[in-house]
Structure 1
């Protein structure tokens, strides 16, 4: 009989080394346009504790980006921005590492799962989050946006920060129920020395963009509040305003006035100039121009009148009809929380999510077999069984 052998686990994959530091791949999260990739990794350094970090890899090849979005200039801008936005619930940018034809942004690793995971649970286990949970999420995000929008320089002059890319993948839901922002890569500001874009271009994840952003008309604080409204609507209903159920594109296009059609055309023009003029983008821009208050009302049928009123105001097409500031939104959310009664905060939100996750877990394998796997970065991801 042959002696027993100890099977050694595979060595971790090292993404790159710089000086005494090495960065071990923990998980590939996703790829975005223009060669951008996202990873979770462990930073190791002799004599120090391992540190979990989030890595954002940008291509340095000239053909993959416009001159105004040169990754090295973007790194310096984002480092300056990160110093101005020091907050316990905003991830810090530690620095950058140039490796071959890639530039790695090294961000603080924030514990928890993405808000995208939180929103995806109802796809497997049919349930609804309580309105207290939804209000908690809204208050957390409104507080973060209020902090960002209100930043000033040393002389007290507003810096004009607008996030422009608020979406569930860039928000972490922590173990204690607190929410944190983990992606500041597209923040607009009036910081001295900032290199402006050469053209007005769409920013951020298309499905969470405000209409004026999708139409190429620019963004302000109210655009971020619209994105917040889309996130809350998705959490509350499992549905999305830019993917209306049973709505045919022809029916939506028939709703467009001449002015609407002009805005759609303008949006597609600036998207094409920025290399984003896809069929998917066209569908979203038409939805953004064509949706009506009654569409929203239909999506929100099961919600209370108080929460529906808040979402209606967040999701007005015209910015002038929305909340003017995040603080104004906070007032209405706190008033609605008081009407709901009870003491509901981070601990209660974390417990509610864990209950939903526990009921979902037994159903994940069947869901993956019937529908398909969740992406590798998701807490709901199950590895594909070996054949």
Structure 2
């Protein structure tokens, strides 16, 4: 791999160091320099050399720039510029100082702690606000032109040290104003464990499949476990089709009953039984947040992100993420299924044993956020 740290792109974007690597791109932490000593932190995404000759990947990268430039929202990582130099493309984006949701979940799992449900709800609301802006996109002529993300997963949700949640990586997004799809026939776009059931049957991605993705990451934030996981891709694929998901309170009895119900709706096997819009889903979570009396969700999330970064830094820097794309390449590649794969029979998820405690009635018996004891 060629490290471009130290290079300056387009005369003003200085690449400082590699911040992360994805399946098709490398992201650099950089600075943009201007007059009178002005400078600002940026993230610069550069398509990897081995993909430069592949038109489909170049087209997806250009599409990411096009889509991102039209989505101005505080809960979406902003695209500032798109440059070409020496046969390579560079996507210049907002720098997010924080950690991705995947790393955040891992710090809790590694220390045998549960993410407080109020924080999980706050992450869900922020993600849905950004996703809703993409779904509500309007074309220049005023006609609705929604953008379907198609890759809602923990590594594409960034949590800032200021408590702001930002949805990132629209590299697989599809805007309705594009007549042709960039997806090859027989290819399912996205990370396998986060696919909606209908997509595994060959149906197109929709608003509802994106919302299933939000439900999936919210469930994972609370439980520390993926909704669909297995030893092989085929095993995961069968579980996705079966879509038998234990209620979250079998893993987290402290979760309010209303949140259990919201997740059951979001993760319904039939898209028609899910929320109609991101706004409707976010409103339902907002009602649940009212149960977290006396908690400032933004401040609490900011403090938790700072703590998670410190814990990750003390363990291994590999789980820190402050940029747009910090995904394990093995999980971000296209999932290609043959007809034989698509014909496999679904298998049920392994049933978790129910806790001995009674099902939560909605009355909080545990605080929404547990603070560590003072040393």
Q: TM-score, normalised by structure 2?
A: 0.74
- Distance (Å, rounded) in 1 between the aligned partners of 2:88 and 2:319: 22
Partner of 1:159, secondary structure, is: coil
Change (3 A) 1:286 1:37: farther
Deviates more, 1:146-155 or 1:308-317: 146-155
Hey, which bits of structure 1, 4+ residues long, moved more than 6 A? none
Aligned to 1:283: 235
Q: Which has the bigger relative contact order, CA under 8 A and spacing at least 6? A: 2
* 1:313–1:321 contact (8 Å) kept in structure 2: yes
- The answer as to 2:366 corresponding to 1:375 is no
The residue aligned with 2:133 is 147
- Tell me: CA distance 1:336–1:70, structure 2 relative to 1, closer, same or farther (3 Å): closer
CA distance in 1, matches of 2:51, 2:306: 45
Contact 1:163 1:184 in 2 (8 A): yes
Match of 2:148 among 139, 162, 166: 162
1:92: Cα distance to partner?
2.5
Contact (CA 8 Å) 1:203, 1:213: kept in 2 or not? no
Q: Which residue in the other structure is 1:254 paired with?
A: none
- Flag the 1:332–1:88 CA change in 2: closer, same or farther, 3 A: closer
Bigger helix fraction: 1
Aligned residues: 320
Post-superposition offset of 1:183: 1.6
Give the structure 1 partner of residue 286 of structure 2. 334
Counterpart CA distance in 1 for 2:21 and 2:49 is 18
Aligned to 2:44: 55
| Corresponding position: 1:127 with 2:113 | yes
Take 2:194 and 2:48, find their aligned partners in 1: how far apart are those partners? Answer: 25
Note the residue ranges of structure 2 that are not aligned, 5 or more in a row: 323-375
- Which residue is 2:360 aligned to? none
Task: Determine if contact 1:14/1:22 at 8 Å carries over to the other structure.
Answer: no
- Deviation of 1:378 after TM superposition, in Å, equals 4.2
**Correspondence for 1:103:** 89
| Aligned 8 A contact 1:61 1:101 in 2 | no
Match of 2:5 in 1: 14
- Alignment match of 2:15 (pick from 24, 31, 39): 24
Q: CA RMSD in A?
A: 3.1
Q: Secondary structure at the match of 2:215?
A: helix
Calculate the TM-score normalised by the size of structure 1: 0.72
Q: How far apart, CA to CA, are the structure 2 residues paired with 1:351 and 1:91?
A: 21
Q: 1:304: Cα distance to partner?
A: 2.7
How far off its partner does 1:302 sit?
Answer: 4.7
